[in-house]
Amino acid sequence: MVMACRVVNKRRHMGLQQLSSFAETGRTFLGPLKSSKFIIDEECHESVLISSTVRLLESLDLTSAVGQLLNEAVQAQNNTYRTGISTLLFLVGAWSSAVEECLHLGVPISIIVSVMSEGLNFCSEEVVSLHVPVHNIFDCMDSTKTFSQLETFSVSLCPFLQVPSDTDLIEELHGLKDVASQTLTISNLSGRPLKSYELFKPQTKVEADNNTSRTLKNSLLADTCCRQSILIHSRHFNRTDNTEGVSKPDGFQEHVTATHKTYRCNDLVELAVGLSHGDHSSMKLVEEAVQLQYQNACVQQGNCTKPFMFDISRIFTCCLPGLPETSSCVCPGYITVVSVSNNPVIKELQNQPVRIVLIEGDLTENYRHLGFNKSANIKTVLDSMQLQEDSSEELWANHVLQVLIQFKVNLVLVQGNVSERLIEKCINSKRLVIGSVNGSVMQAFAEAAGAVQVAYITQVNEDCVGDGVCVTFWRSSPLDVVDRNSRIAILLKTEGINLVTAVLTNPVTAQMQIKEDRFWTCAYRLYYALKEEKVFLGGGAVEFLCLSCLHILAEQSLKKENHACSGWLHNTSSWLASSLAIYRPTVLKFLANGWQKYLSTLLYNTANYSSEFEASTYIQHHLQNATDSGSPSSYILNEYSKLNSRIFNSDISNKLEQIPRVYDVVTPKIEAWRRALDLVLLALQTDSEIITGHGHTQRNSQELTGFLFL
Partner 1 sequence: MSRLEAKKPSLCKSEPLTTERVRTTLSVFKRIVTSCYGPSGRLKQLHNGFGGYVCTTSQSSALLSHLLVTHPILKILTTSIQNHVSSFSDCGLFTAILCCNLIENVQRLDLTPTTVIRLNKHLLSLCISYLKSETCGCRIPVDFGSTQILLCFVRSVLTSKPACMLTRKETEHVSALILRAFLLTIPENAEGHIILGKSLIVPLKGQRVIDSTVLPGILIEMSEVQLMRLLPIKKSTALKVALFCTTLSGDISDTGEGTVVVSYGVSLENAALDQLLNLGRQLISDHVDLVLCQKVIHPSLKQFLNMHRIIAIDRIGVTLMEPLTKMTGTQPIGSLGSISPNSYGSVKDVCTAKFGSKHFFHLIPNEATICSLLLCNRNDTAWDELKLTCQTALHVLQLTLKEPWALLGGGCTETHLAAYIRHKTHNDPESILKDDECTQTELQLIAEAFCSALESVVGSLEHDGGEILTDMKYGHLWSVQADSPCVANWPDLLSQCGCGLYNSQEELNWSFLRSTRRPFVPQTCLPHEAVGSASNLTLDCLTAKLSGLQVAVETANLILDLSYVIEDKN
Largest CA distance in the chain: 103
Angle at 677 between CA 624 and CA 66, to 5 degrees: 135
In the complex, what is the shortest distance from the CB of residue 613 to partner 1, in angstroms, rounded to a whole number? 34
* Region near partner 1 per CB under 8 A, out of 76-84, 91-99, 246-254, 521-529: 76-84
Stretch that binds partner 1, among 369-377, 423-431, 502-510, 595-603 (CB under 8 A): 369-377
Q: Does 383 bind partner 1 (CB under 8 A)?
A: yes
* Closer Cβ to partner 1, 164 or 695, answer by number: 695
433: nearest Cα among 452, 413, 453, 415: 413
Could you say whether residue 379 binds partner 1 (CB under 8 A)?
yes
Kindly compute the dihedral angle of the four CA atoms of residues 673, 675, 678, 680, in this order, to the nearest 10 degrees. -80
Choosing from 121, 366, 620, 654, the residue that interacts with partner 1 (CB under 8 A) is 121
Region label for 277, one of left (φ > 0), alpha (ψ between -120 and 50) or beta (otherwise)? left
Question: Binding residue for partner 1 (CB under 8 A) from 236, 239, 369, 408?
Answer: 369
Q: Does residue 701 touch partner 1 according to CB under 8 A?
A: no
Using CB under 8 A as the binding rule, the residues of this chain from 553 to 582 that contact partner 1 are 567-568, 570-579
Q: Does 678 bind partner 1 (CB under 8 A)?
A: yes
Quick note: the x/- pattern for partner 1 over 448-487, rule CB under 8 A, is ----xxxxx-xx---x------------------------
Q: What is the full DSSP assignment across 480-535?
A: GG--TTSEEEEEEEETT---EEEEEEES-GGGHHHHHHHHHHHHHHHHHHHHHTEE
Residue 205 is inside which H or E element, if any?
Answer: none
Contact between 691 and partner 1 per CB under 8 A: yes
Helix (H, G, I), strand (E, B) or coil at 472: strand
Q: Residue 524 CB, nearest distance to partner 1 (Å)?
A: 12
Which of residues 182, 313, 417, 611 is near partner 1 by CB under 8 A?
Answer: 313
**Choice from 58, 101, 360, 394 touching partner 1 (CB under 8 A):** 360
How far is the C-alpha of 39 from the C-alpha of 60, rounded, in Å?
Answer: 9
**Shortest distance, CB of residue 178 to partner 1, whole angstroms?**
38
- Contact status, residue 324 vs residue 505, Cβ threshold 8 Å: yes
Residues from 239 through 268 that contact partner 1 (CB under 8 A): none
Contact 542, 132 (CB under 8 A): no
| One residue of 10, 24, 47, 76 binding partner 1 per CB under 8 A | 76
Report whether 152 contacts 548 (CB < 8 A): no
Q: Under the criterion CB under 8 A, does residue 140 sit at the interface with partner 1?
A: no
Using CB under 8 A, which of the segments 44-52, 316-324, 325-333, 675-683 binds partner 1?
A: 675-683
Nearer to partner 1, 76 or 173 (CB): 76
> Judged by CB under 8 A, which of 56, 57, 102, 113 binds partner 1?
113
Which of 158, 370, 385, 564 touches partner 1 by CB under 8 A? 370
> Which of these, 496, 513, 681, 514, lies nearest to 591 by C-alpha position?
681
On whether the CB atoms of residues 419 and 441 are closer than 8 A, the answer is: no
Among 30, 54, 57, 65, binds partner 1 (CB under 8 A): 65
413 versus 577: smaller Cβ distance to partner 1: 577
Which DSSP letter does residue 164 get?
-
Tell me: does residue 387 bind partner 1 (CB under 8 A).
no
Which residues 653-672 are close enough to bind partner 1 by CB under 8 A?
671
Q: How far is CA 420 from CA 87, 366, 410, 539, in A?
A: 47, 13, 17, 53
Q: Which of residues 10-39 bind partner 1 (CB under 8 A)?
A: 15
The reply to whether 109 sits near partner 1 by the rule CB under 8 A is: yes
Length of the chain as a residue count: 710
Query: Pick from 36, 25, 32, 11: which is nearest to 92 by CA?
Result: 25
Cα separation of 465 and 260, whole Å? 55
Does the footprint of partner 1 cover residue 340 (CB under 8 A)? Answer: no
CB of residue 398 to partner 1, shortest distance in Å: 16
> Residue 164 to residues 161, 168, 185, 258: CA-CA distances in angstroms?
6, 6, 31, 20
**Under rule CB under 8 A, residue 373 binds partner 1:** yes
Chosen residue from 69, 432, 502, 592 binding partner 1 by CB under 8 A: 69
Residue closer to partner 1 by CB (options 44, 385) is: 385
Q: DSSP letter string over 14-65?
A: HHHHHHHHHHHTTGGGSSS-PPPEEEEETTTTEEEEE-SHHHHHHHS---SH
Of 427-446, binders to partner 1 (CB under 8 A) are 439-440, 442-443, 446
Binding region for partner 1 (CB under 8 A) out of 39-47, 102-110, 314-322, 471-479:
102-110
Q: Cα separation of 522 and 544, whole Å?
A: 23
The answer to whether residue 280 forms part of the interface with partner 1 (CB under 8 A) is no
Q: Which residues contact 479 (CB under 8 A, 6 or more apart)?
A: none
